Amino acid sequence: MRKFEKISYEQFKKDIKDDKNLYDEYLLPRRETFNAAGYDFFALYDYTLKPGEIKKIPTGIKVTMNSDEVLLLIDRSSMGFKYNVRMCNQVGVIDADYYNNKDNEGHIWIKIQNEGDKDYIVKKGDRMIQGIFIKYLSVDNEIEDFNDRVSNL
C-alpha cells in the first residue's frame, strides 16, 4: 500500500507547534493534474528565505509504500529555474522503512537554500517540492546482512 499521512499530533507538537487548528487544516501531498508524476507538498506556514540563507522546513507528512519502492523528493521546476532556490541535498530519498521509525515517526523534512539574489517568499499552502514514487531493483547476489530501522509500532 502506498499513501501519505499526517504525522501524529504529538509529533507535530514536538517538531512544529502546539496548534491543533494548523494541524487539522494542512493538506496531504497531491498531484495537480491526472498525468503529473509528482505529488506536490504544501507549505505549513509562511516563510521567507533571504539570499544565501538555508532553512530546514517540516512537511508534517510521513509516507508508507511498498518495500520495493522509494519516494524521491525533488525541487519544483520553478524553484530552481525562476528563483535559484534548491534543496540542499538536490534529491531527497525516502526509503520504505523510514515510515514510523523510532526517531521521528517518519516525519519528512526538507532543507532548502536560496542561491539567488532576491528574497524567496513562500506563503502557507504554496507548493514547495514534489515527491515521485519509483520502483527500484536490487542485485541478485546481494548478501542479506541488513540493519533494521526499528518501528514505533
Three-state SS letters, the chain: CCEEEECCHHHHHHHCCCCHHHHHHCCCCECCCCCCCCEEEECCCCEEECCCCEEEEECCEEEECCCCEEEEEEECHHHHHHHCEEECCCEEEEEHHHCCECCCCCCCEEEEEECCCCCEEECCCCEEEEEEEEECCCCCCCCCCCCCCCECC
Per-residue confidence (pLDDT) for residue 148, from 0 to 100: 63
Per-residue pLDDT at 151 exceeds 60: no
Per-residue confidence (pLDDT) for residue 144, from 0 to 100: 74
Report all structural domains of the chain as residue ranges with CATH numbers, in order of start: 3-135 (2.70.40.10)
Q: How many residues does the chain have?
A: 153
Banded model confidence at residue 129, pLDDT cuts 50, 70, 90: very high
**Averaged pLDDT, 64-93:** 95
Per-residue confidence (pLDDT) for residue 152, from 0 to 100: 47
The pTM for the full model equals 0.90
Grid coordinates representing 140 are 541478485
Grid coordinates representing 90 are 538536490
Grid coordinates representing 76 are 519544483
Per-residue pLDDT at 116 exceeds 70: yes
Phi, psi of 130, deg, nearest 5: -130, 150
- Going by the DSSP 8-state scheme, the letter that residue 143 receives in this structure is -
Task: Count CB neighbours of 29 within 10 A.
Answer: 20
pLDDT tens for residues 2-40? Answer: 999 999 999 999 999 999 999 999 999 999 999 999 999
Per-residue confidence (pLDDT) for residue 59, from 0 to 100: 98
